[in-house]
Structure 1
């Protein structure tokens, strides 16, 4: 009864498999999730003292199934357990296989991701439910990560589970076009989780490492289950290539350090190598998707020996391909930066003028921050200082506010 893996990491890996096994067998997402959480708590308490069982997944399923039975009996005290389970069993499924069957156990994790990213849920609910059901984070941990009261997050997750239960969605892999659409939602949710972890949109911290690390872990899981999907690989490569810079993104005091000023010797070389290898393997397969193009851009940045040696013309070309695939104002904003770096700030500023009327980005602090940077490059110090100050007023991230105000203060007067 030994294992080299820490109990916490093992439980996090097993949680979606155990939950999937119970939901597949009984069809009740909400109650099964409660039962699994209690089984995980029991394991976290007992395994460090008793040792990890030879079959930890089977142990968890057995304990969770017993707890689920107790919960069913409490909810349906006047009915026999068999009647309750039969009533809850999903339609047109036939006789359900044993919950702890070994075959297909990995698929359950992917099916859970598809369920958590059901189109009836808002993006916020999809993220919260994914982190709870598949990521294994507690409600308190998710609430802290998104800086909302635990009671608020509890209600959000409860409503999400109720919506899934009410929708009657079967526990199984969607077919045809619906599968592709739902996979797109899964990747988008993981992308949002990673971005919030890598560059927090609000609060005192520049990064929330636990979120970006969890997004990478889940992306690895999805790629393990769908190894031939190029966009899945592209998303994982993008996360690795971006997260590789994390050790150099802030100073000892937590202050933001822009990429051009980072010590590239601090970058995670293993992540860079893995990300470059992944994107290099999938790009030649055919028409690349948005995540692959973004990963290719990240690879150009990461492979440059220094900021001055960055291949900006190649980055401009890649952003132009990306703009053909996505009408995203943030892509256009980044394209403007790349153009400025490749051909000069005035060309980049001209592109920003076209974005100023786009209501999706017109009030975003990033537009003002980019304008300030390009104005500073162009030698227009007073307008640059005003733009930095306006960007600082508009962001809700404390480290970004400090960085932008410091840039403004560092510019001399007119």
Structure 2
């Protein structure tokens, strides 16, 4: 019988230990890049040694081996090597070792250092915290492995300076939340994704909610849960996008929706609303509707008003919010009113595919199928995601065919 399941289980157990051990090395003052390399060597040694000689304390074993690698790499004195190993052999004088969740969050904040670019923050988080390989991360972002390796190496070198920010700095927490949402949205692409980044983002968001009372952390987790609940219905059997109004709501994950609503309610109870909480509230209203026709658009519009008000310059800072509000206006006050909202956004957002897609939707609701087809086609030309571009092409063809059929009926 193949030992492949056992090997995968062992590798999974090793991956779960990475954040705790790496955080211990970084906490002690080791260079992030060197510590991560040493830990990778320790992991390879573990895969060779553990099947025949499993350690009593796997975390301590990895920490000790990684420490030896660091000492060897620096060509230190033998006495220094003994001091390094002793550091990991004895408990800390200041108290018990931190919980695994605390270590993971410490490492997460290191990876989300404000000196790093958003792309580097995301890549380093997936490498060091989630334990994904460079190839897995490169595959998730559809870039060459060498490109991703360079990005991660530059990020690790940039962390050679001061210690990372901690949970008592709200501004830095906002950076962590943004990185987690970027990880989530990258993974929330469909059932064929090679690496479940969305699940990893939700796992980290759960840990974050246990470590901070900041309601936006719970708002983000709620938003992820409420959006992810609809994923089973978001694509058809051929991998094509199914829009929200046409989804089979019987496929939605009702348990995830219920959990998302509970988490959101606990966040809103603090009465410090933020972007993630408001976006989660909008998602909850969509999830609560038994059908597209039963969607509570007036309440959704009210939440969009709150969301836009949270941004100093919403058109440039949060274009998705103002476009979403235009759709809500179209459902509440009529398609013509929604189109007038988009007219006011033309100068700033007119070159974006989502602006044209919203125009197509509103023109279609207004009964102008020719204009809808043109808008959908314009959106398709600007879309960069293949699945979304194909969807918009189909939308344009459908509107064009429906318009031609209507004209034929009127002539006859």
**Do they superpose with TM above 0.5?**
yes
Q: Corresponding residue for 1:63?
A: 65
When residues 281 and 363 of structure 1 are mapped into structure 2, their CA distance, relative to the original with a 3 A threshold, is same
SS in 2 for 1:257: coil
- The answer on 1:378 being equivalent to 2:369 is no
When residues 98 and 128 of structure 1 are mapped into structure 2, their CA distance, relative to the original with a 3 A threshold, is farther
Deviation (angstroms), 1:244: 0.6
SS in 2 for 1:334: helix
Deviation (angstroms), 1:251: 0.7
2: CA distance, partners of 1:36 / 1:250: 40
Deviation (angstroms), 1:6: 4.1
Q: Corresponding residue for 2:86?
A: none
Q: Is the 8 A contact 1:61 1:99 kept in 2?
A: no
Q: Is the 8 A contact 2:136 2:195 kept in 1?
A: no
Q: Is the 8 A contact 2:167 2:173 kept in 1?
A: no
Deviation (angstroms), 1:397: 1.4
What is the number of equivalent residue pairs in this alignment? Answer: 385
Taking structure 1 as the reference length, the TM-score comes to 0.85
2: CA distance, partners of 1:244 / 1:175: 29
2: CA distance, partners of 1:28 / 1:112: 13
Question: How far does the alpha carbon of each residue in 1:377-405 deviate from its partner, in whole angstroms, 9 at most, with x for none?
Answer: 11111111111111111112111121111
Q: Corresponding residue for 1:251?
A: 236
SS in 2 for 1:330: helix
- The answer on 1:134 being equivalent to 2:141 is no
After superposition, where does 1:109-128 map in structure 2 within 5 Å? 109-128=104-123
SS in 2 for 1:410: helix
Gaps of at least 5 residues in structure 1 are 74-78, 87-95
- The answer on 1:407 being equivalent to 2:395 is yes
Q: Which has the higher relative contact order, 1 or 2, with Cα contacts under 8 A spaced 6 or more apart?
A: 1
Deviation (angstroms), 1:218: 1.5
Deviation (angstroms), 1:84: 9.4
1: CA distance, partners of 2:298 / 2:195: 32
2: CA distance, partners of 1:309 / 1:320: 21
When residues 236 and 52 of structure 1 are mapped into structure 2, their CA distance, relative to the original with a 3 A threshold, is farther
Q: Corresponding residue for 2:171?
A: 181
1: CA distance, partners of 2:82 / 2:367: 72
Taking structure 2 as the reference length, the TM-score comes to 0.86
Question: How far does the alpha carbon of each residue in 1:217-260 deviate from its partner, in whole angstroms, 9 at most, with x for none?
Answer: 2112222322x221111101100110111111001110100011
Deviation (angstroms), 1:104: 4.7
Q: Corresponding residue for 1:149?
A: 144
Tell me how large the CA RMSD over aligned residues is: 2.8
When residues 169 and 333 of structure 1 are mapped into structure 2, their CA distance, relative to the original with a 3 A threshold, is same
Deviation (angstroms), 1:42: 3.9
